[in-house]
Amino acid sequence: MTNETLNIWTHLLPFWFFAWRFVTALYMTDIKNDSYSWPMLVYMCTSCVYPLVSSCAHTFSSMSKNARHICYFLDYGAVNFFSLGSAIAYSAYTFPDALMGTTFHDYYVALAVLNTILSTGLSCYSRFLEIQKPRLCKVIRVLAFAYPYTWDSLPIFYRLFLFPGESAQNEATSYHQKHMIMTLLASFLYSAHLPERLAPGRFDYIGHSHQLFHVCVILATHMQMEAILLDKTLRKEWLLATSKPFSFSQIAGAILLCIIFSLSNIIYFSAALYRIPKPELHKKET
């Protein structure tokens, strides 16, 4: 039992739940002919990837000092891959009526791809600042995840807080609200290091902020998935009448660009670990 034990299990168990839902969706979908469902399948796939990679990162990060950094580089890449999956699903199913077919909608996924590449690079770079500039490291890392989330959520913000059209007023709205609340709570826990900062030593194994952060992120993903599935079902007739489903080349292109450039970032920063004198990067672990 270590401080990482529950970090591993709070993402490994949800991975199997999301994998079960993904496999079920695959079984029930005519993948070849139902292009309307492709964004949903991409999203559900990415929702399996990030908890699995996170669980592996927390499991194997203790192998060596460089392994720790490389594991979390991969973790950051997986989180950003999930961000792109969310953007693809949002673009396909959750955009409010007033924004459908606008320039914002046309370039929404393309800019989400760019965001994932930049965010992966920034979050990986932040690990090189842990020793000399820990506060700047934390700020950069939080911003690296906050701005892709903000971009992805702009259609939801518009839908919840401005003037949604009739087709967007459905049962999914309450799930979007719950998703937003859980995401904000997860962000707060990640940034504030509560409750362990109030009682050092008492939450080393159970109940520290990173475990609570994991739980909130998983709950947020579950709420998001329910919202997307409801939008996909309840708005299907309207969406098919007013917009064209994503083509295979559009989805595959976005995914491949994200994977290629994010992996390039990870490889570059992993190689950089071996070019830096050990005392600079490894004299303190966070």
Residue for token pair 């996924």: 109
Spell out the residues 6+ positions from residue 27 whose beta carbon is closer than 8 angstroms to its own. Answer: none
Instruction: Single out the residue of 244, 262, 251 nearest to residue 119, CA to CA.
Output: 262
* Per-residue pLDDT tens digits of the chain, which is 286 residues long: 888 999 999 999 999 999 999 999 999 999 999 999 999 999 999 999 999 999 999 999 999 999 999 999 999 999 999 999 999 999 999 998 889 989 999 999 999 999 999 999 999 999 999 888 988 998 999 899 999 999 999 999 998 887 655 555 688 999 999 999 999 999 999 889 899 999 999 999 999 999 999 999 999 999 999 999 999 999 999 999 988 999 999 999 999 999 999 999 999 999 999 987 765 555 544 4
Binding-site residues for Zn(2+), please? 58, 210, 214
DSSP label at residue 91: I
Residue located via tokens 């592996």:
56
pTM, full prediction: 0.93
Give the annotated binding-site residues. Answer: 58, 210, 214
- Which residues make Cβ contacts (< 8 Å) with residue 116, sequence separation at least 6? 80, 81, 83, 84, 148, 258, 262
Residue 262 corresponds to which amino acid?
Answer: S
